[in-house]
Each structure stands twice: as C-alpha cells, then as structure tokens.
Amino acid sequence: MKNFSLLLAIDLLISFFYDIISKNSNNFAFINCAFIIGMFYFLAGSLCYVWEKGFFNITLFSFKKINNEIQKRKGLLTDDDNVTLKDYVYRKNKFFLTSNLLSCGGFISSLCIMISFLYI
C-alpha cells in the first residue's frame, strides 16, 4: 500500500506541475497528463508481469548459448558452462513493484476516463 500511495502521489504531483506550467491551465491538461502517466505505470507493470511469468526465459537461454559458442570460437571461453534448458524454463523472476504498478496504473487510468466523461 505504501508503494501504491507513492506512485499515486508522484502521478498527481507531476500532473499538477504540468497543469501549472501549461499556458491554458484547464482541468483537461491535468486529466490528460495523469492518464498518460497512469498508462506508463500500467505498461511497465504489464511488462514486469510478463517477465515474471517466464515469457522471455527461452529467448535468454538461446542468447546465452549463442554467446557461449561465439566466445568458444574466439578462444575467450575455456570453461564449459553446461546450462540446461530446465534451468532457464523454471527460473523465477520477481519484481517488487509489479502489482503496485498494475493496480495504480489501472486505477489512475480508469479514474481519468470516468472524470473525462463527466466533463463532456
């Protein structure tokens, strides 16, 4: 809850300062800026979620194998690093802000959409 509140406060501060700096200083500038930042939160949270679930593990395994093969051919790698596919497939990644970014981004974006429809 602490990180959610911090992300929400950062969004509101940036939106408020953008509203002050913009020349037309209407509420739509604040709502638009808050929505854009909320969507960045949501996008970053979605990327972290996909990464946590292991979508890129096989790709990372392939790049590591190619890199090891290139280094062996150049003579830079003498140690035989036997990394199996199971090591990469079942590897778990955990980011501490994933759920906070997803929930804060979704909350801010949906709130901005509802507010914008009320102003029309």
Tens of pLDDT, residue by residue over 32-73, are: 889 999 999 999 999 999 988 888 888 888 888 888 888 888
In a shared domain, residues 37 and 68: no
Residue 80 is part of which domain span?
A: 55-92
pLDDT recorded at residue 19: 80
In a shared domain, residues 87 and 99: no
Please list, in sequence order, all residues whose beta carbon lies within 8 angstroms of the beta carbon of residue 9, skipping any fewer than 6 positions away: none
- Neighbouring CB atoms inside 10 A of 99's CB total 14
In a shared domain, residues 59 and 49: no
Q: Specify the number of domains making up the chain.
A: 2
In a shared domain, residues 70 and 109: no
pLDDT recorded at residue 23: 72
In a shared domain, residues 47 and 1: yes
In a shared domain, residues 1 and 49: yes
In a shared domain, residues 48 and 72: no
pLDDT recorded at residue 112: 92
* pLDDT tens digits for range 62-102: 888 888 888 888 877 666 666 677 777 777 778 888 999 99
> Is pLDDT larger for residue 44 or for residue 119?
44
pLDDT recorded at residue 102: 93
pLDDT recorded at residue 77: 66
In a shared domain, residues 8 and 20: yes
In a shared domain, residues 102 and 50: yes
| Separation CA 110–CA 31 (nearest Å) | 11
Token code pair at residue 77? 């790698």
In a shared domain, residues 35 and 77: no
